[in-house]
Amino acid sequence: MNLVTGATGHIGNVLVKELVNRGEKVRVLVLPDEDLSPLDGLDIEVFKGNVLEKESLISAFNGIETVFHLAGIISIMPGKDDFVHDVNVNGTVNMLEAAQKAKVKRFIHTSSIHAFKRVPHGIVVDENVPIDPASAIAAYDQSKAEATVAVLNAAKNGLSAVVVCPTGVIGAYDFKSSEMGTLIKEWMDHKVNFLIEGNYDFVDVRDVVQGMILARQKGKVGQIYILSGQLIRVVDLWRLVKELVSIKSSFFINIPVRFASFVAKFTQIYYRISRSKPRFTTYSIETLHTNAVISNFKARSVLGYQPRSLRESIKDTVVWWKQQLKSKTTTK
């Protein structure tokens, strides 16, 4: 039996679908009031609990052999955030303690490329780059790093734990509309778009899931595996989306980085006051200009990880968003 946390998220729901398709039994740990629509139609066991409540985890772990821990808060806001830290770090520690007590056979922790120390351009980012729990860049980066260290320490103490670190995840089944998913959908809908210079490494959600399953099978205890995809400029990603939706007369307005960073300082104040989902922050702009030359050589050579082309990922993403739009239109 597999236990999956964060099962309704982008990676989570794709992972659950894949495990079910393989004929494996799956139990998902979800919040009591969580929307389970991303898991509709799947033959799974639903257990309501909270990674922050240790008592709720005891029963959730009964009969579990493998844990895929994905539950966490993604944030592109700079600065400290106690809630992000609490869920991402303390929630992971609680999961590790429960896993050790239940004597699970495998614990796969989904961290992030942001757990690594940001290194200058010219250095390839791989698993030799240190994890940076002292990061002051953002609560998200620091929390993912601290959680990763906790998992690695648990591995040293006997837990069969492996860590995977995806880069920027894109792809279909993005029911909760991630930042990149929302952006791609907007590019599909509008002829004119505002773009910020920069580039990043993006990976298909299905390849991340395959990497996680491979890590369960072949990953070495206490090791980290980067699950990256392809480095691409924002403008080239935009052009690819436009090509795939056949919008030939579209154009973009390039926003200078300095101006974008200046404006983002004010949008962040708005996000905090309105408590709305952040879309445009100094953190997201900075991320597009950090070193994103990332190697997945270790995952390829040890796990047999083979990510698909970014073109295929975007094509399938566009098709999925079109289907979602059509479905919403027919149900009105």
pLDDT category, 193, cuts 50, 70, 90? confident
Q: What is the pLDDT of residue 206?
A: 98
Judged against a pLDDT cut of 60, whether residue 331 lies above it is answered with: no
User: Looking at 63-77, 136-150, 181-195, 270-284, which range is the least confident one?
Assistant: 270-284
Judged against a pLDDT cut of 80, whether residue 270 lies above it is answered with: no
* In the chain, alpha helices (H): 10-21, 54-60, 82-85, 91-102, 139-156, 179-189, 205-218, 234-244, 257-274, 282-287, 297-298, 310-330
Closest listed residue to residue 284, CA positions, set 107, 75, 85: 75
For range 160-180, the mean pLDDT: 95
User: Looking at 3-7, 170-174, 182-186, 222-226, which range is the least confident one?
Assistant: 182-186
pTM for the model: 0.92
According to DSSP, the β-strands at 199-204 and 230-233 are antiparallel
pLDDT category, 260, cuts 50, 70, 90? low
For range 14-35, the mean pLDDT: 96
Cβ-contact 15, 209 below 8 angstroms: yes
pLDDT category, 289, cuts 50, 70, 90? confident
Residue with the bigger pLDDT between 131 and 255: it is: 131
Strand partners, 3: 27, 67
Cβ-contact 318, 241 below 8 angstroms: yes
For range 118-131, the mean pLDDT: 95
Share of the chain above pLDDT 70, in %: 88
